[in-house]
Amino acid sequence: MRQVNFISPTKGRMDLDALCDDIMEYVISDEESDYRLMIGTDSQVHADVCFVTAIIIYREGKGGRYFYRRFYQARIPSFKQRIFMEANYSLEVANLIMEMLDARGLGSLNVEIHLDVGKNGKTREIIKEVVSMITGCGMCAQIKPDSVGASSVADRYTKAM
């Protein structure tokens, strides 16, 4: 996955190394602030399934930057399986980013996995399972309405084809 490109709306296409360098520069530019690293994936069924993983570095109370990656897979027959795949893609990216940021000396960021599940709608039946998957991997999980990484940022790019 290291060759995978993400897109920054302001800087264009970036590989993971450039993305991590950009996060580092952003954090170093205001070291007094608190930061949250939010990673979430959403999907939309078209002819294939469009997945979008978003990475957001949020400077508490001051805004942030985000990056996204769009990719496609053949249709997935099970809605539940698709939600678990979203969570798994977010975990994969989070582990890579955390490893790379740790190697750069920035291993202390608060990392959250944003899940596109909530207490309303058909995802309410699998909240416990998906959150357990994330917390079982040692990560913090956020669900709707607090999961803006998946339900707002990534969601926007699943629809913008």
Under 8 Å between Cβ of 101 and 58: no
User: Does the structure show a pLDDT above 80 at 160?
Assistant: no
User: Does the structure show a pLDDT above 70 at 2?
Assistant: no
Domain span holding position 38: 5-159
Over residues 146-153, mean pLDDT: 94
Tell me what pLDDT residue 157 has. Answer: 94
CATH number, domain of 129, equals 3.30.420
Q: What is the pLDDT of residues 11-30, one digit of tens each?
A: 999 999 999 999 999 999 99
Number of domains in the chain: 1
Under 8 Å between Cβ of 16 and 4: yes
Tell me what pLDDT residue 13 has. Answer: 98
pTM: 0.94
Pairing of strands 110-114, 35-45: parallel
